[in-house]
Amino acid sequence: MKRSPFALGARVLCILATALFMACQAPAATLPTAAASKLPAACRSHCVSPFGTVLGVADGVPAYSNCSAKCVDLKPVKADGVYTGIKWQCVEYARRWLLKHKDAVFADVDVAADIWTKIHHLQRVDHKGTIPLQNDPNGSPRPPSVGDLLIYARAYLGTGHVAVITDVDLHSHVIKVAEENYRNRKYPGDYARKIDLIERHHRYWVLDPYVLGWKHATEQRFAGSRLTPAARHSTRR
C-alpha cells in the first residue's frame, strides 16, 4: 500500500518529537570541568557554595565563593591589571573593593589580622602618594563609616578576617558589610551580613566576636552612609 507524502512527513515529525522528548527527560551528564579538576581537594568538596560562585554584589563589586574556610587556591587575582590577592580570600575582596572606590590598595600581609598592626596606609594605583589609615578600636568614640575595613583578630580561625563596611545606620544601630570567605553563602541583598552596632557613653561597639576595630582612610571619597560616585580604576595577600 502506497503512503502519501503527507502521511510519511507526519510520521517522521512524530518520531522526531518523541526522540526530543526522551532526550529532554534523560539526566544530564555532570562531568567536572577542567578548571574545577585542577582545584585543591579542599576547594572541591564540602563547599557551602561551589568555588567561584557569585555570592552577591556590593557597590558594584562582586564577591565569589571560596567553598569553605579550608580552601586555599594560590592562583593570583588581578583587576584591571592590578594584583588584588589569591582566590577568593577576604583580603582579595577588600583590595578589589578599595581599588574600585578609592583607586588604591594595601600592601602584602601574611593573614588578614595583620592588617590591623602592619598596614598603615593605602598605596594609590597611579603611584601619586598614599592615603593614611587610622585604627579605631572596637569601643572607639568615632563610629564606623562606609569604606572602613572591619578587622578580626587572629584568634578567628588562626588568620582573622577583613570585611568592608558598606552601610552604617546609627539610628537602627546596624552596619552592613561585604566580604569573601566568611560564610560563603549567597548575599541576602547588596551586602553579606548585618551586624549590630551599639553606642554607650559616646563610644561605639560592633557586636561581633573577634572584632578588633575598623581601619579608616583619613582621606575619604564617601559621604553620609552611602558611597558617592567615584571614577573606576581598577598587588598579594
CA distance 174 to 2: 81
- Annotation marks residue 71 as catalytic: no
Determine the Cα–Cα distance for residues 200 and 111; give it in Å rounded to an integer. 31
Instruction: Kindly state the cell numbers that stand for 148.
Output: 572602613
Output the nine-digit C-alpha cell for 120. Answer: 598603615
DSSP 101-123: HHSEE----SSTTHHHHH--EEE
**CA atoms of 138 and 153, how far apart (whole Å):** 11
- The closest alpha carbon to 88, from 127, 140, 53, belongs to 53
Q: In DSSP terms, which residues pair with 77 in a beta bridge?
A: 85
Instruction: Quote the CA–CA distance of 54 and 35 in Å, as a whole number.
Output: 16
Q: Catalytic pick from 43, 47, 67, 90? A: 90
Report the catalytic residues.
90
